[in-house]
Structure 1
Amino acid sequence: MPRVKETGRKMLFIIAVVSVYLASVISTADSSYVAAVYEHKVILNPDPRTPMSRHEALQHMQKNLDIYEEQAARAAQQGAQILVFPEDGIHGFNFTRSSIAGYLETIPNPQEESWNPCTEPERHNNTEVLQRLSCMARRNNLYLVANMPDLQPCPLKTSPTSTCPPDGRWQFNTNVAFRSDGLLIARYHKQNLFFEQSFDTPPEVEVITFDTPFAGKFGLFICFDILFHDPAVVLVEMGVRQLIFPTAWMNTLPLLDSVQFHSAFSLGANVTLLAANLRNDRLIMKGSGIYTPFSATYHHAWKGDPEEGRLLVARVPVLEPLEVKQSAAKEVEAGGGESASSVATDSGRCHQDSCDDHSPHSVHPSHPTFISSMMYDTFTFVLLNVTQGDVKVCNGTFCCHLQYRWLLQDHKELYALGAFAGLHTVDGRYALQVCAIVRCGGLDQSSCGQEVEEAESKMDFLLEGNFDTKYVYPSILTSRMFLEQPESLEKAADMRVTMKHSNMKSGLVTACLYGRMYHLDNE
Structure 2
Amino acid sequence: MVGLRKRSSFCFLYLLFLIKAAQLEDVSASKSFYTAGVVEFAPAKYQGSFLDQLNDNLDDYIQIINSHEASSTDIIVFPELTLNNPQYLTFLPEPKDKIIPCDSSSNDYEAFFKKLSCAVKNVRKYVVVNVLEKEVCTRTSQMEKNDPRPCAPNGLNSFNTNVVFNRDGMVIGRYRKYNSYDLMTNVTLMPELSTFETDFGVKFGMFICFDINFYSPAMELVDLGVKDFVFSSFWYSELPFLTGVQLHQSWAYANNVNLLAAGASSPTGGTTGSGIYSGRQGALVSVMANSPERKLYIANVTKSSQSKSVQVSQTNRKLIVSKHTTGIRLMREYRMDDFTSELIEINNDGLTVVEKLLCHGSFCCQFNLELTKISPTISSNSYKYHLAVFDGDRNYSGFGYTKYKFCAVYACTGKTQDSCGRIFDGDTEIHPEIVFQKILIEGDFPKADKVLIMPNSLDQSLMPLSTDRFEFDIEDDKQMHHVKYSFSTASDDLLTFGIYANYYNGGMALFRTTSSLLILMGLSMFALQNLSPQS
TM over 0.5: yes
SS of structure 1 residue aligned to 2:249: helix
Amino acid at match of 1:174: T
1:253 and 2:218 are equivalent in the alignment: no
Q: Is the 8 A contact 1:33 1:315 kept in 2?
A: yes
Deviation of 1:420 (Å): 1.1
Paired position in structure 2 for 1:52: none
Q: Does 1:403 align with 2:368?
A: yes
Matched, 1:123 2:101: no
SS at match of 1:483: coil
Q: Separation in 1 of the partners of 2:411 and 2:69?
A: 42
Post-superposition offset of 1:505: 5.2
Quote the offset at 1:70 in angstroms.
Answer: 1.4
From 471, 475, 487, the equivalent of 2:452 is: 471
Matching residue's letter, 2:413: G
Structure 2 vs 1, CA of residues 212 and 422 (structure 1 numbering), >3 Å: closer, same or farther? same
Q: Secondary structure of the equivalent of 2:112?
A: helix
Give the match for residue 419 of structure 2.
447
For 2:506 and 2:358, the matched residues in 1 are separated by 22
Structure 2, unaligned runs of 5 or more: 1-28, 314-331, 347-351, 509-535
Amino acid in the other structure paired with 2:271: M
Q: Calculate the aligned-residue CA RMSD, in Å.
A: 2.6
Q: 1:265 aligns with which of 251, 258, 267?
A: 251
Cα drift, residue 502 of structure 1:
1.8
How big is the shift at 1:513?
A: 1.7
Aligned counterpart for 2:65 among listed residues 55, 59, 72: 72
SS of the residue corresponding to residue 503 of structure 1 reads: coil
Question: CA–CA distance in 2 between the matches of 1:284 and 1:225?
Answer: 18
- Could you say what secondary structure the match of 1:261 adopts? helix
State how far apart, in whole Å, the 2-side matches of 1:499 and 1:492 are. Answer: 12
Secondary structure, aligned partner of 1:130: helix
Tell me by how many angstroms 1:312 deviates: 0.5
Matched, 1:423 2:401: no
Q: How big is the shift at 1:408?
A: 5.4
In structure 1, the gaps of 5 or more residues are: 1-27, 48-55, 93-99, 324-333, 335-372
Equivalent positions of 1:173-322 (< 5 A) are 173-195=160-182, 197-293=183-279, 294-296=281-283, 297-302=285-290, 306-320=291-305
Distance in 2 between residues matched to 1:158 and 1:212, nearest whole Å = 30
Q: TM-score, normalised by structure 1?
A: 0.76
What is the aligned-residue identity percentage? 28
Partner Cα separation in structure 2 for residue 420 and residue 157 of structure 1: 45
Alpha carbons 2:41, 2:292 under 8 Å: kept: no
SS of the counterpart of 1:416? strand
| Aligned-partner residue type, residue 473 of structure 1 | M
Contact 1:241 1:321 (8 Å CA) reproduced: no
Equivalent residue letter for 1:145: V
Deviations 1:111-152 (A, max 9, x none): 3x110112x221343432321221222122210000001111
Match of 1:114 in 2: 98
**Between Structure 1 and Structure 2, which shows a larger proportion of helix residues?**
2
- Cα 1:313–1:216 shift into 2, 3 Å: same
Q: Partner amino acid for 2:302?
A: P
Amino acid at match of 2:288: H
Once the two structures are superposed, the pairs formed by residues 86-125 of structure 1 within 5 Å of their partners are 86-91=79-84, 100=86, 102-111=87-96, 113-118=97-102, 120-125=103-108
- Where 1:199 maps in the other structure, the secondary structure is coil
Report how far residue 473 of structure 1 moved.
1.9
Contact in 2 for aligned 1:105/1:151 (Cα 8 Å): yes
CA-CA distance at 1:464 after TM superposition: 2.1
Query: Does residue 436 of structure 1 match 2:408?
Result: yes
With over 3 angstroms needed to count, the CA separation of the structure-2 counterparts of 1:29 and 1:189, relative to structure 1, is closer
Sort the Cα spacing of 1:407 and 1:85 in 2 relative to 1 into closer, same or farther, 3 A: farther
| Alpha-carbon contact 2:267-2:289 (below 8 Å) kept | no
**Cα–Cα, structure 1 residues 191 and 426, in superposed 2: closer, same or farther, change >3 Å?**
closer
Residue number in structure 1 paired with 2:129: 146
Give distance in 1, aligned partners of 2:175 and 2:236: 22
Does the aligned pair in 1 maintain the 2:147–2:189 contact within 8 Å? no
- The C-alpha deviation readout for 1:407-448, integer Å capped at 9, x for no partner, is 555554311111111112242422111222101121334423
Residue 485 of structure 1, CA deviation: 2.5
TM-superposed deviation, 1:504: 4.0
Query: For 1:436 and 1:521, how far apart are their aligned partners in 2?
Result: 26
Q: Name the residue aligned to 2:9.
A: none
2:142–2:149 Cα contact (<8 Å) kept: no
Report if aligned partners of 2:164, 2:172 keep a CA contact under 8 Å in 1.
yes
- Cα distance per residue 1:93-127 (max 9 Å; x no partner): xxxxxxx2x3111112213x110112x22134343
Relative to structure 1, is the Cα distance of residues 409 and 396 closer, same or farther in structure 2, using a 3 angstrom cutoff?
farther
Q: For residues 490 and 321 of structure 1, what CA distance do their matches in structure 2 show?
A: 23
Counterpart residue identity of residue 388, structure 2: G
Q: Deviations over 1:149-182 (max 9, x none)?
A: 1111222586144323332321100000010111
- Aligned residue in 2 for 1:509: 495
Q: Which residue of 2 aligns with 1:14?
A: none
Structure 1 position 59, deviation (Å): 3.9
Deviation at 1:273, TM superposition (A): 1.1
